A = this chain, B = another copy of it.
Amino acid sequence: MDLIDTIRPLAKKTDSKILMVVLDGVGGLPLTVNGDTELATAQTPNLDALARESQLGLVELVGAGITPGSGPGHLSLFGYDPLKYVVGRGALSAVGIGVKLRAGDVAVRGNFASLGKNRIIADRRAGRPSNEKNAEVVAKLRAAIPEIDGTPVEIYTESEHRFVVVFRGQGLDEAGQGLGANISDVDPQVTGVPPRVAEGHDPASERTARLVNAFVARAEAALADEPQVNGVLFRGYSDVPHFPSFEDIYQLRAACIASYPMYKGLASLVGMDVLEVEGEEDALEGKVAALEKSWDNYDFFYWHVKKTDSTGEDGDFFAKVKKIELFDALLPQLRALQPDVLCIVGDHSTPSKLASHSWHPVPLLIQSRYGRKDLAGRYTEEEAGKGSLGLRRGTDVMPLLMANALKLQKYGA
């Protein structure tokens, strides 16, 4: 049963405001048995004070033992069951580099490959070229393949051997059918054989398959003089995901305040307005300024901090501690806006010890006028485990925020 179907008819518009702060990858692990995590090590007087007047708990974003990617982690926080609402690989790549997809478009994940005699694949990653080399090859392809049979083609560097192609099928035909994404892979996933010919499994996807096969041929011609990066492989075709919008489900005018393309893309997939943020990289002060400036215009703000994750991914325990403390320092500016409901949560854990995302539950904090006494004294994994909200699925977060904002009607009479 999709929780959204239960929530939607109960949601009502009110003047109350919800601020959801997502500290990316904030959950951690101790470096030694029974030691302190990054959150427990950090000096966080402002978070501590907030925790003492809030409800705490722990959330699993996808399920027990499942390590969420950023897409599923965020969708879960936004109330979309990540096992049901799946963003295809091609679309997520496009979203991740800031490319907006429209109905009728298809995004495809590509790998550069090294082809030998008779187009036999020698290396499925073309020797892992540098990002600079990737950009150089992409520039060649852009010049050689601006369109195919009237369909605009966009080509983007992702990283190393990875690139993204967007076929702009929007409004191509009078019926408005555009392009389909139900296509077989060009990438055979092994070396020693030539690339496969893509086949479409329905009429709209047959059109896409013709474009894909033409792209492969024209790319090989354009890269014929390259010693190593001389072929392309495709898998992961996606059309634009059709998710019910935030406004449709929750009756919320929602805004996204984030710096990195992936998060802005995910927020726009669910229909949030993506606000302008001044400043480089995480730009926390710019994000505070954006929030203050737009405070009167929205009911819901998704406010994202990236560096808590990046430092965890780098395996740098104390750098992550420092980023948590940086957020703590500006928390008073967020509280000064007096949101009716303030939520602090992560989209997954990223323990420095693992230097990667992990399956461990993430602390959840909800402050509102309607909380009970709570045993958790800090926003840490250990303290949150004592909290009154218990251990929950990530999709419970939005209903709890809506309820605490008095934006949900009674279910049944």
Q: Residue A413 contacts which of B58, B71, B403 (CB distance < 8 angstroms)?
A: B71
Interface centre among A7, A359, A381, A389 (most CB of B within 10 A): A359
Contact call A358/B382, Cβ cutoff below 8 A = no
Q: How many residues of A contact B (CB 8 A)?
A: 73
The answer to whether A68 and B410 touch (CB under 8 A), given A353-B370, A381-B372, is yes
Least CB distance, A346 to chain B, in whole angstroms: 14
Q: Residue A373 contacts which of B36, B359, B390, B399 (CB distance < 8 angstroms)?
A: B36
Least CB distance, A409 to chain B, in whole angstroms: 7
Least CB distance, A57 to chain B, in whole angstroms: 8
Dominant SS among interface residues on chain A: loop
Q: Does A67 make an interface contact (CB < 8 A)?
A: yes
Within 8 A of B (CB), among A53-88: 53, 58, 62-72, 82-84, 86-87
Contact call B354/A412, Cβ cutoff below 8 A = no
Interface centre among A62, A87, A359, A413 (most CB of B within 10 A): A413
CA distance A251 to B50 in the complex (A): 45
Contact call B29/A390, Cβ cutoff below 8 A = no
Contact call A87/B381, Cβ cutoff below 8 A = no
CA distance A351 to B391 in the complex (A): 23
Least CB distance, A269 to chain B, in whole angstroms: 13
Contact call B412/A87, Cβ cutoff below 8 A = yes
Interface centre among A358, A360, A373, A374 (most CB of B within 10 A): A373
Q: Which residues of B contact A388 (CB under 8 A)?
A: 381-382, 385
Residue on B nearest A93 in the bound complex, by CB = B413
Least CB distance, A61 to chain B, in whole angstroms: 9
Residue on B nearest A81 in the bound complex, by CB = B1
Q: Does A10 make an interface contact (CB < 8 A)?
A: yes
* A 22-39 to B, binary, CB cutoff 8 A, 1 in contact else 0: 000000011001111100
The answer to whether A65 and B399 touch (CB under 8 A), given A86-B412, A382-B375, is yes
Least CB distance, A70 to chain B, in whole angstroms: 7
Q: Which residues of B contact A68 (CB under 8 A)?
A: 410-412
Q: Does A217 make an interface contact (CB < 8 A)?
A: no
CA distance A29 to B406 in the complex (A): 15
Q: Does A142 make an interface contact (CB < 8 A)?
A: no
The answer to whether A53 and B33 touch (CB under 8 A), given A70-B413, A372-B381, A390-B391, is yes
Least CB distance, A254 to chain B, in whole angstroms: 17
Interface of A with B (CB < 8 Å)?
1, 3, 6-7, 10, 29-30, 33-37, 40, 52-53, 58, 62-72, 82-84, 86-87, 89, 92-93, 96, 351, 353-354, 356-360, 370-375, 381-382, 385-386, 388-392, 396, 398-404, 408-413
Top 4 A-B pairs, shortest CB-CB distance: A65-B399, A390-B391, A64-B396, A69-B412
Given contacts A29-B371, A68-B412, 10 further A-B contacts (CB under 8 A): A10-B66, A29-B370, A30-B372, A33-B53, A65-B396, A67-B409, A357-B410, A358-B370, A381-B388, A390-B390
